[in-house]
Amino acid sequence: MNVLSCQATSRLVNSRVFATSRQRFAGHCGGKPRLPTPTRNAARSLSSRSLRVPATNTCHCASEAWDPEHENLDIERDKPIAGAITRHYRHVLIHTGTTDWPKRIEDMSSTAGMLKSLVSAGSALADPLSPILVTNSSWPTPPESEQGGSGTVTMSLFPEAIEVCSIPNSMDGLKSFATSFLLHPSSEYHTPHGNERDPAFTIKNITKPVILTCSHGSRDMRCGILGPAIIKAFAEALEKQSPDNRIDAILGEISHIGGHKYAGNVIIHLPGDHELAKMINKAPTAFSPLSDTVSGTTSGTQAGVVDTSGRSVAIWYGRVLPGHAESLLDTTVRKGKVVKELLRGIANSDGDLIDLKAAGLQNTLLGSK
């Protein structure tokens, strides 16, 4: 019997997940709430309150970035967007080789639909404290596989910064992928990293900066118009770099990530050994529900100092226009500074959101043309 198709088992799984969740928040039950036991995340927040992440208020191209061609797009330009981000424990990018996605990627019998049925809220393996963001990406599919068909599928995963190949494109194969890579270690369904993973999986490290734009035009025309134009501008900026000061980056287009009204939306994943990533990983974090787990560890790591050099950080920008691309490449990727005017939020290598105010990243300037 397929346990994932059994409603009774699904209810039992969810009850266990929520029981685990209640255990994580046990300190808030009965009497006055108490703070979680200080762990690595809490200690990092307490010991680095004065740390400031390198930043600049505006893009040096801001005066030239506005394009009258996009003036009629209904984009929110008047309110600060700092903090307009939702925490995700993991971000999964399914390689589809296209940007011609349906309005809702979960509404079709596809890899995305099957995976989201496993890990989305209310699903069998879902954990409300470790939400998973599943998106399609324009990155190429394995030659022997067709999206939604038989064969295998490739997915990239952040903040692990890995590409996982040879995933069987079936419910059982995707369940094996989810339990190996996506679940929090406190989940009873988590398969520890290492030899116990499905040996069929092939894993490749992603060591370069990754720049992603939301180009989900069937979901919202604002991203459908701006996303492709922005990624083209990044490609042109990379192409015209001087030979003696070149940086390399991987570009991609992805489906809905939330916040169409802040289009264009860009995510920059920086490797953990990037100087800006190192500063972000030392920055104070907002409260994380994973900072007081049953096992006493944080975000699946052992207590103490953890090497995050192989794990990326994620910088979310909004209201990006094609004219910003060259400056963002230079300011954030090359020089290691966050552009506060465009900043939606930042996730560190544990997947926890940075406290923007404590890190000196909250911009008081309003968006403008």
pLDDT along the chain (369 residues), means of 10: 40 42 38 36 44 85 58 73 90 94 82 91 81 94 58 94 92 91 79 56 93 88 90 94 89 91 92 95 78 34 49 95 93 95 94 92 55
210, 252 contact by CB (below 8 A): yes
The secondary element (H helix, E strand) that includes residue 135 is strand 132-137
Cα–Cα distance measured from residue 127 to residue 21, given in angstroms and rounded to the nearest whole number: 8
Cα–Cα distance measured from residue 160 to residue 9, given in angstroms and rounded to the nearest whole number: 30
Please give the angle made by the CA atoms of 184, 94 and 349, to the nearest 5 degrees: 40
State residue 93's pLDDT score. Answer: 97
Cα–Cα distance measured from residue 98 to residue 80, given in angstroms and rounded to the nearest whole number: 33
Render pLDDT for 119-178 as a digit per residue (tens, 0 to 9): 987 777 888 888 999 999 999 987 754 444 458 899 999 999 999 998 998 899 999 999
Burial of 329 (0-12, 13-18, 19+ CB in 10 A): buried
The number of beta carbons lying within 10 Å of the beta carbon of residue 83 is: 15
Q: What is the per-residue burial (b if ≥16 Cβ within 10 Å, else e) of 223-239?
A: bbbbbbbbbebbeebbe
Cα–Cα distance measured from residue 117 to residue 124, given in angstroms and rounded to the nearest whole number: 8
Residue type, 335: K
State residue 289's pLDDT score. Answer: 57
Please give the angle made by the CA atoms of 33, 37 and 42, to the nearest 5 degrees: 110
Cis peptide leading into 159, omega within 30 of 0? yes
112: nearest Cα among 100, 104, 123: 104
State residue 130's pLDDT score. Answer: 85
Cα–Cα distance measured from residue 345 to residue 44, given in angstroms and rounded to the nearest whole number: 18
Q: Tokens 């069998």 — which residue?
A: 124
The secondary element (H helix, E strand) that includes residue 210 is strand 210-214
Cα–Cα distance measured from residue 252 to residue 227, given in angstroms and rounded to the nearest whole number: 10
The secondary element (H helix, E strand) that includes residue 134 is strand 132-137
Contacts for 16 with CB less than 8 Å, ≥ 6 apart: 188
What fold characterizes domain 42-86+208-347? Glutaredoxin (3.40.30)
209, 146 contact by CB (below 8 A): no
3: nearest Cα among 356, 11, 108: 11
- Residue 129 sits at φ, ψ, to 5 deg, of -95, -5
Q: Tokens 């394009």 — which residue?
A: 67
350, 302 contact by CB (below 8 A): no
44, 279 contact by CB (below 8 A): no
Cα–Cα distance measured from residue 268 to residue 162, given in angstroms and rounded to the nearest whole number: 15
What are the helix (H) ranges across 170-316? 171-181, 221-239, 275-282
Indicate the pairing of strand 266-270 with strand 313-317.
antiparallel
Task: Flag whether the pTM goes above 0.85.
Answer: no
State residue 51's pLDDT score. Answer: 78
Contacts for 233 with CB less than 8 Å, ≥ 6 apart: 322, 323, 324, 325, 326
Specify which residues 205 forms β-bridges with.
Answer: 162
- Residue 368 sits at φ, ψ, to 5 deg, of -150, 170
State residue 47's pLDDT score. Answer: 43
State residue 67's pLDDT score. Answer: 63
